[in-house]
Structure formats: structure tokens, C-alpha cells
Structure 1
Amino acid sequence: MRFFRYYLLVLILSCLPFIGIFLTSLLPHTHDGLVHLARIGAYFKALSDGQIPVRWAGDLNYGYGMPLFNFMYHVPYIISSFFVFLGAGLVSAFKIALVLSFILSGIFMFGFSLSFFKDIKKAFLVTLFYQFFPFRLVEILIRGSFGEVYAYAFFPLVLWGIVLLSKKVNFKNISVTSLGTALLILSHNALSLVFFSICIIFILFFAGKPKNYIYPFFALFLGLLLAAFYWIPAIFEHNYTYGDLFMKDLYTTHFPPIQNFFIPNFLNNSVLQTGGISIQIGLFHTLVFALGIFALFSKKIAKFDKRLTIFCLCIFAGALFIMQPISIFLWEKISLLRQFQFSWRLLSVIGFATSLMAISIFYFGFFKKKIIYFSLLFLLIFSTFYYWKPVLGWDKIDEKYYWNFPLTTTYFGETDLIWSEGPAKKYPLHRVEVIDGKGVVSQLVKKSNILTFKTDNETPIKVVTHIQYFPGWRAFVDDKQVSIEFQYGIYRGHIVFEIPIGQHEVKLSFGESRIRFIADMLTVIGFVFLISVGFLLKYFKKT
């Protein structure tokens, strides 16, 4: 309870930029907001149909479906689906989930900073610098980046767990670190990779002796296992999509001029934007970073502070390098890097580094004065005031349309399948058609992952189901599995199979492929490991 009022203050201050969006039923217009409404609807339907884990969005792509959530992050849609379950509409669920991510990031960042610095003033300062890094608000109210905002939230949770684990090895601290890692990975595919790497670097910098690496690295590994059901299929089944083909050169047009990071853009000048958004580091973040460098070379600072400054300098410089055209050879050689699409996503790293370096103000006596300290925090918060109002305007949403969204919700072919001719352009006249033989199809019922119908056939027939093929689809006639085709004639990418003469009950169901089954089992093993660790630690504590 000692620090409760500080957590409460972080919560209240974190809510300030978003008061306006809850005073209206309209949705702030953002780059990605509208597609997230459709995805929330698709995810909720899939959960309602018993898909666990959710992989297939059955109603998207004009009902042909697509393996959207085999490749797309899960956490934001799980959270928003929970609010839909409680009775919220798509717009309300989206708003609440966005703001909740920001609140969680503040709470977790304060917890991490307090454990790491053991100083309330430093922890509060670092937390507000993390929360009010200008690009954080751009991510929410201009980009509407649903996954990235949750990566910002769970990254400090992982670091908090690592710090706690370095002080005391127990089940709670291992659980915080491993579950935080899993949630981070499930929040955003690209950004989680960056933050996971920083967690490793953080351990190497601050864990002390090599023997202290064991438990933090074990907890990170356990987190990887817990999230295996998602990231393993996302990597190994990625070659079934056109993603690499359509995104291979996208990064080349998204290297911001280096001056755009440092020149304030209070008037929203398009010259200082990249891809239609402001990518400024921010005046106050630039200031504390400069103070940190100055102190490193001109003042006698504690060994810990020196190590922290070097850590921040390393990740800052690395991120800045990758965001510049000089790093293009890395983008050309490393296919995983191209999945970032936009180099400026690494501003997230700079936001974290400059937030930690905010403690550099305490190297200078001037900033230790209470009036100066709180004035700095006040100016920091309200320097972002421009971003509190959605600059792109507002949208009036017909939620019925997004509950039955006909398109794909992707931009660059990330989930367009190689067996098809691209996204569907219209609904089929019939979901199931007899293309050879004589028979009648009746009593058709379609869910997100299951299609059932009956046939009465005068002859053996061949049917096409206008559902996009992806490994995991299986056809059953009278509960007996039959072979399927997915490159048949003009029905490329659709599921085709034969049904014998007579009356039959047919079911087409989507399940796990071999690689997905293995990934699911690794997740189960991860949970067994975690529970086993709890029992073992409890046993050895007693003995």
C-alpha cells in the first residue's frame, strides 16, 4: 500500500489524453482502426464457435475465409473480445482496449522502474517519460496500432520480472517473467522480437555474474514455450502466403531523414512527416538524452549510472542505425527484418532508451529542486497535448458492416494464400456447388471453422466448397475422412472432394496441421514446466 498513490497517479495521468474519445460514440479516425473493428468481430465469432486457439477468420474474404490469426497477434483481440462478451460494441471495445494498453504500460513501467532504481522520484520520472513519448500517442490516436500498443505494455512487465528474479528466485517471479514474455510475443510479431532482444541485452548488462543469467534466461525460454502455439506456425507456415512477395521492397520507402527525429513538429508540417505521421523523438526526450551523454563524459557518476547510460546509448544507436538508409544491406539480407515493414517502428526502442536516461537530470543539482522536477513533468505531459485530439477526425461507424466485413483486413498480402488467385472479389452464388454428377445439397450450416450440409445424390458427385484451402481443412462424409483437392480446374485454392451415390451427411472442419499441433504441444509443455517449477521450488523451500 506504500506506493499505491503513485500507481493511482500514474493511472490517472495515463487517462488524460483519452478523455475526449469517450465523450462521443464516434471512433477516432486512424490508419488501422477500421480494420481492427472487423478483426475484433472475426475473432469474437471464432471464439464463439469454439476455436481455441483462434486461427481461421471464416467470414472475411467474402466468406472464403483466411488464416488471419495464424499470423496475426492475439492479445488485443482477446481483450477486446472480452469486452464484447460483456456487452460492449466493436467501437467501445476497441477504445477500451486501446486505452487499457496505455494504462497497463504505465503501471508495469512504474513497477519495473521502482524495482530497478529503488527510488520513487526516478521511477515516477521514467514512467512519465515512457508514457508521454510523443510517438506513443501517435501509435494510438493516429496509427491506431492495436498490437504495438500492447507490446509497449508487456515489455516493462518482462523487465520487471527479470529484476525481481535477480533479487529472489521464486515461483511468482518466474511466472511474472515467463507469462509476461508470452504476452509480449502474443501482442505484436515484429515489435515483440525487438523487445525480446532488448530483454536479453538487459540481462547481460545488469544481471551481474554469469551464474545470475540462468533463471532470467530460463524464464524467457519458458515464455517462448508458452507462446509457441502462435510464433512457430507464424514462422513455418509463412511460406504459404504472398507476404514476402508483396512486402519485399516496402521498407525502401520508409527510411525517415535523420533530422525528422529531432526537429519538433508542433505545426504538423508534412515535410517533417514520414508516411503521413510525425516520428519525432520529442524535445524533452532529446534533452535528457543529451544530458546523459554530457554527464557520461564530463561528470563522475556512479558505476551503475554509467552502465545504464552505455546500455541506453547502445540500443539508441542501434535503433537509429537500422532506421537509416545506411542499414539497407541488412534489410536486403535479413528477411525477418523486412517483416517490420516500416523502419520507424524502432522508435519504440528510442522511446524506452530515452525514458531510462531521464534519470540523468539528477546528475545536475538544478533539477533536484522540487519545483523544477514537477515543472519538468508538467511540461513533459502537456508538450504532447497536440496529440490528444485525433488529428484525422472522427468516423461514424455502422457496426453491422464490420460484423460482416467482406474484405481481408490486410494491406500487403500477409495472409493471401499461394494456392488462390488472390483475395476474393465477391460472394459466391452458392457456398457449395455440385460440379460433376447429379446431386442436391441441402441444410447447409456455416460457422467460422466448420461447414456442414447434406446431399442426396443420384450418381457419385464432386463438389466444390467455396472456402479457401489452408493446411488443416479436412472433409468428412458420414464421419469418414475423404481426400480433398485444392487445385482443381478453375477452382484454384478452393476445396474440392467426391461424395458417393446416395444420401450423406458431410462436414468440412478446420483443425491443426502437424506443425501447429507440435506448437500446441510445446505450449502445453511450457505450462507443465511452469507448474512443475512451482512445486519444485515449494518442495526445496520446505527441505
Structure 2
Amino acid sequence: MESLKKLFPFFLIIILSFFAIRPLLLNGFFPMHDDTQPSRVFEMASALKDGMVPVRWSADLGFGYGYPIFNFYAPFAYYTGAVINLLGLNPLDATKAMMIIGIILAGISMYLLAKEFFGRPAGLVAGLLYLYAPYHAVNIYVRGDVAEFYAYGFVPLVFLGLYKIYKENLYKHVFLVALFFALVIISHNLTAFIITPFYLLFSIFLFIKNKNRANLFIALGLGVLLSSFYSLPAILEMNYTNVVSQVGGGANFRDHFVCLSQFWTSQWGFGGSAKGCIDGISFMIGKYHILASVLSILATLFLLLKRNFKVLEKDTIQIVTLFLSFLLLSVFLMLSASQFIWDSLPAMEYIQYPWRFLLIASFSVSFLSGGLFLLLKQYINPRIYMIVIFSACIAVVFLNFKFFSPQTILAKDSSDYVSKNALNWDISKITSEYMPKKFMKPKNISQIANLKSVENNNIRLESYSKKTNRIELNLRTVQKTNVVVPLAYFPAWRAYLNGREVSTKEATKGTSVQLVPGKNNLVFAYKETKTETIGNILSISGIVLLALGIIKRPR
């Protein structure tokens, strides 16, 4: 019976998430800002089938020239979708399943955190508030930012693990913090950049309370180590691509501060962010989220004035206060009044949009709201309390499910995202920032990559094969000449001519290699760069250290 009680909240969150995931259960698919998701899942699955681990390259995107998208765009969600695809679902259905998992994850993770402080019933309400936060809906059905809402789902689990280290200092909690922090990083690097200072503040707060908890910082460090296979190249190899072009211009943070009134109410839309107080996208924190958290804070203040620590433990009151400060700080950083901070910290330019701090605001108000329902428990009888909890859960869903709906559902299937033309042209036009800086983008579909384009009066292509991590061409030349292979230049690609490595040069339409007269067997193989190799070694080191901790931990 006790085990059923423990499992019941998980079942309830999954059942009540139906209204958040319902559009993903229908035929077809919906438009979104980042309308590339099934294509990326397909490309990830194709790379895994070709034996590329970790996956760094997409062979078909980038107008067919390929590009190292998974070196820079956090890949975890796509690994999830790719595994589902390889297990049998088509790329579109695998993408929907991937998204459903990420959506439900948010509710479950917040429930696990909030129940630690407020109990299961209150934790359940907090979990649903987090799942049904308006910003969560924006990321799913407006922006289509799968990477960000996956990270959103993992965020509470790191806070939970850190608190568990403070309370019990068991190795399993160090392991879980390291794992979940790594998952935040490889789910969405910008979310990791935003949330890490808050994790550090939380850890410092807990360390001050108990100086024997250095494991708080060790766990976070191990998380960074585990994610190094992705994060190190993402930082150090950016200059080989045009990723930096996304900073400034239309994504200049100075044009995307939020007006205070927009946190309470702003028009729901499927457009973009603009300068001023009228945007095509909503930045609401959620009226009912705000009301519940304000009531919780007022009730906590009342207890403080009464010096009543029987209802809420002193630790809980302190952490509620800390998370309130997180809420206020996140709101401030979204307002134009904070521009001096943004201007003084150049790295914050990479965040692009100050309203990304809605993640912290949504997290904080959802957690704080859980405290209200714990306080109610002290003043009403258990039966009425459970009726209140049930009513609150239904109200959260009823009042917020309207946000979890796309603009429209189109009659699309997988072929609309994974056909050659879709990958090489339609989807490639959406994101081209992972191409080399000197690359000359095709002006029409006839200019997309084609290995047969290497042929001319001096070169005859006799045969070729192409995989994600290997391209082989058998060529016959009349004289010594250069060939430009339609492969986006990237230092990880090594060229081998008749079995011997040869130098390559960057060209505006691919990678150039010098051929010899006669028969030429030209092979391009993806060999990880030194940076990528070091990143892999650091990640493996993190795994080894965690494994040693499991083996050698006190029994």
C-alpha cells in the first residue's frame, strides 16, 4: 500500500499532463519557430547507424554540404529521439515521443523537489504548476525549443540532489547531481549558462550552513567533467563556424528586455520578440502561479513574525527565502533596469534574450507555491485537505491548458522533414549558422550539394559512397588538378588520396584537394580534433571517477 502511495503522484502527473501533450497525439505536425526537430532526430539516428559516437556531424543539413550541428547545438534530446527512431518509430513520431518525454519530465522533477520540503500533496501541485507554466508552453508550441524545455525538465533535479548532499552527504546524491547537471548542460548549453550561478549560490548557502559539505562543489565539477565531450568543443571550436553571427543583430539583448506588466499579462501569440512592450510572443509568468506564490510568501512571513517553526522547518523557511530571491533576481535581469549588468558582463550577450530568465522565474514561483499547500494542511482536516489538493490540481490544468496548443496542425508526415529536398533545402534554410564563415550559401535548390558536381573536363567521377563520417570518391583525372568536394570545411575532416593523407583547403563551396593524373581514390574521414578528443577523455575520466566512487564508497 505504501508503494502505491509513493507511485500515485507520478501516475497522476502523467494522466494530468494529457492536456499539455494532446496536440502531439494527433496526426500531422505543427509549425514552430525552430521547425527542424524531426529532421534533426533523423540526422542523429542516421549518424548513430553510421557508427558515429558521439555524434557531431549532420550529413544532409547545411544544404547537403553537412555541418557540425551536434558539436554546438546541445544534443541530448536528439539522442533520445534518435534511439526511439531506431527502435522502430518513424522520425516524426519519434520526435513527438521525444517531446512528450521532455514535457512530462518537468512535472515529475519539480514534484520530486517540492515534496522534499512540502510533502507529496503539495509537491504534486508544484509539479503541475511547473509543467503548466506559460513559458513551458511557449518553448513547446511557439518556439519549438526542444533543447531548452528538456533542460527545463532537469533543472529541479540538480537542486534536489544538492539539498540531499547537504542533508545526508551520501555518494549516490553526488552521483545524481553530477549526472543531472551534465544532462542540463548537454540538453541546452544556454540554460546551463543561466542556471549555473544559481546552483552555485544554492551550494554556497548550503555549505555555509554545513562546512563539511565540499561534495556540493565536487558534484557540480563532476557534472562539468561528464559533459566535456560536448561542452569543450562547443566553446573552443565555435570560430570554425558562423555561430557567433547569432549574437547581436536581431538577437541583441538590448532590444529584448521585458516590460513589468508583461509578466502578469501579455498577448498570446506565435510571432517573435521585439523591442518595446508589444511582442508577438507572451512573457507571462502566469497569473495563478504568481498569486499562489505570493500567498505562500505572505503565509511564510506570518510564521516568521510569530516565530512558529513547527509548521515549516527553519531550513525550509530559509530555502523558500532563497528561492524568492532567485525569483526577484530573475525578474530584475529581464527588465531594462538591469542593462548595466548585461553591459558589464560581455558573456551574457550569448544569452541573446533576457526573457530566457523566465525559466528561473517559472521554477521559483512553482516551487514557492507548494509551500502554500503545506501551510493549509496545518489548519484544515485531512479529508478536506485532500479535496483542496485535488481541486488545485484540476484548477492548474483547467486554467493553463489553453496555452498548450499550437497555432495550427498541418497535414504533414515524416517525408516532409526527411526527404532529400526537405533536408538539403527547406530545413537547411532555417539554420545555416553552423556553416563555415566563408561558405557561400546556395541561392536556389539547384545549387545544393551534389557529389556529381565534382565532374568537369579534367575529372570523371567513376563511383562514390557517402556516410555521415566517411565519403569516398573514385575519380579519374586527365592532369594534375584541384577538386572541390561539396563537403563543408571543418578541421575534423581528413582527406586521404590513394591511401595517403593529403592537405585540404577551405573553399566557398566545400573543401578543396589536389588530385594527381590518372586514378584517384579520395576518402574523407571524420577524425575527431584534439579538442574533441580531449573532451571525450575528460568525459570518460568523469565516468571513471564516478565508478570509482561507487566501488570505494563506505558500505
Do they fold alike, i.e. is TM over 0.5? yes
The structural deviation recorded for 1:432 is 5.4
Superposition pairs of residues 20-39 of structure 1, within 5 angstroms? 20-22=23-25, 24-32=26-34, 34-39=35-40
> Distance in 1 between the 2:47 and 2:195 partners?
29
Q: 1:68 maps to what in 2?
A: 69
1:247 aligns with 2:262: no
Superposition pairs of residues 321-360 of structure 1, within 5 angstroms? 321-360=332-371
1:520 aligns with 2:528: no
Q: Is 1:433–1:463's contact at 8 Å kept on the other side of the alignment? A: yes
Q: Is 1:41–1:90's contact at 8 Å kept on the other side of the alignment? A: yes
Q: 2:295 maps to what in 1?
A: 291
Q: 1:455 maps to what in 2?
A: 475
Matched to 1:213, the amino acid is R
Pick one of 444, 467, 470 that aligns with 2:487: 467
Q: 1:112 maps to what in 2?
A: 113
Q: 1:485 maps to what in 2?
A: 505
1:389 aligns with 2:391: no
Partner deviation per Cα, 1:206-234 (whole Å, 9 max, x = no partner): 45544343112111111111110111111
1:13–1:208 Cα change, 3 Å: farther
Q: Which contiguous aligned blocks of 4+ residues in structure 1 show a shift greater than 6 angstroms?
A: 266-273, 365-368
The structural deviation recorded for 1:157 is 2.2
Partner deviation per Cα, 1:66-113 (whole Å, 9 max, x = no partner): 111110111111111111112212221111111111222222222222
Pick one of 419, 428, 435 that aligns with 1:416: 435
The structural deviation recorded for 1:132 is 2.0
My pick for the range that moved more, 66-75 or 128-137, is 128-137
My pick for the range that moved more, 249-258 or 507-516, is 249-258
My pick for the range that moved more, 64-73 or 258-267, is 258-267
1:269–1:484 Cα change, 3 Å: closer
My pick for the range that moved more, 338-347 or 327-336, is 327-336
Q: Is 2:484–2:509's contact at 8 Å kept on the other side of the alignment? A: no
Q: Is 2:57–2:67's contact at 8 Å kept on the other side of the alignment? A: yes
Partner deviation per Cα, 1:272-309 (whole Å, 9 max, x = no partner): 98642222111221112322443454442543343123
SS of 2:58 mapped into structure 1: coil
Matched to 1:318, the amino acid is L
Matched to 2:521, the amino acid is E
1:297–1:154 Cα change, 3 Å: closer
Q: Percent identity?
A: 26
Matched to 1:348, the amino acid is L
Matched to 2:448, the amino acid is Y
SS of 1:289 mapped into structure 2: helix
Q: Is 1:434–1:461's contact at 8 Å kept on the other side of the alignment? A: no
Pick one of 441, 445, 448 that aligns with 1:427: 448
> Distance in 2 between the 1:237 and 1:269 partners?
32
Matched to 1:29, the amino acid is P
> Distance in 2 between the 1:171 and 1:213 partners?
12
1:269–1:141 Cα change, 3 Å: closer
Q: Is 1:73–1:186's contact at 8 Å kept on the other side of the alignment? A: yes
The structural deviation recorded for 1:266 is 7.9
Pick one of 445, 450, 466 that aligns with 1:446: 466
> Distance in 1 between the 2:166 and 2:487 partners?
51
Q: Is 2:45–2:82's contact at 8 Å kept on the other side of the alignment? A: yes
Matched to 2:79, the amino acid is I
My pick for the range that moved more, 191-200 or 360-369, is 360-369
Q: 1:218 maps to what in 2?
A: 218
Q: Is 1:246–1:413's contact at 8 Å kept on the other side of the alignment? A: no
Q: 2:285 maps to what in 1?
A: 281
- Which TM-score applies when normalising by structure 2? 0.88
Q: 2:394 maps to what in 1?
A: 378
1:423–1:155 Cα change, 3 Å: farther
Aligned-residue CA RMSD in angstroms?
A: 2.8
SS of 1:156 mapped into structure 2: helix
Q: Is 1:319–1:350's contact at 8 Å kept on the other side of the alignment? A: yes
SS of 1:61 mapped into structure 2: coil
Q: Is 1:266–1:386's contact at 8 Å kept on the other side of the alignment? A: no
Matched to 1:151, the amino acid is A
> Distance in 2 between the 1:267 and 1:412 partners?
22
Matched to 2:341, the amino acid is L
Pick one of 239, 260, 263 that aligns with 1:261: 263
The structural deviation recorded for 1:145 is 1.5
Q: 1:406 maps to what in 2?
A: 424
Gaps spanning 5+ residues in structure 2: where? Answer: none
